[in-house]
Amino acid sequence: MTTRIWSDSAQEISDDALVTRAEGMTFLGRPAMDDRSLDLLATISRDILAAPQARAMPQYMALGYWLRPASLKRVKAEFEASSSNDDVVMAPRGVALHLPPTNVDTIFVYSWAVSVLAGNCNIVRLPKSVAPGTEWLIGLIAAAIDRSGESDR
């Protein structure tokens, strides 16, 4: 059996190769709300909001606005306020596996983005066939991840 993965372009690899790649994921011990994670999500936001395809799809525009630096600044402030208790230690869990439902074509990005902000490495399993708009979004995100050097996470 093969699995389709996205990086700069979609490719198929064997399931064994996928397991090997997942086992080799580098966990860099990134702290929650790290500037590199915020920068990556800001880049994705800019790419979405600048794309003509996104203007025709309200769910993509909403996602682009949610990922804006101003929006994530509020998320970061709420996170910092909730973690100010000395009895609480905020730490990433390691590798997060996302199994999003197929009925909302952007939901996987929200769960992935929150996990990235938490400092985790991530694996997102998507269905074999996705809508053309979702495939465009996946490609946009994969390209931003590759440009940022974050594809090992």
Q: What is the pLDDT of residues 43-64, one digit of tens each?
A: 999 999 999 999 999 999 999 9
Predicted TM-score (pTM) of the model is 0.82
Residue 18: predicted pLDDT: 74
Domain that holds residue 72: 2-9+33-148
Structural tokens at position 8 = 């700069």
Cβ 125 vs Cβ 99: under 8 Å: yes
Within-domain flag for 54: yes
149: amino acid identity, one letter: G
Pair of tokens at residue 25 = 């994921």
Q: Which residue has the higher pLDDT, 62 or 120?
A: 62
Q: Give domain status of residue 14, yes or no.
A: no
Looking at residue 8, its pLDDT comes to 46
User: For all residues of the chain together, what is the average pLDDT?
Assistant: 85
Q: How many domains does the chain have?
A: 1
Instruction: Note whether residue 153 is domain-resident.
Output: no
Contact predicate 32/79, CB 8 Å? yes
* CA gap 46, 50 in Å, rounded: 6
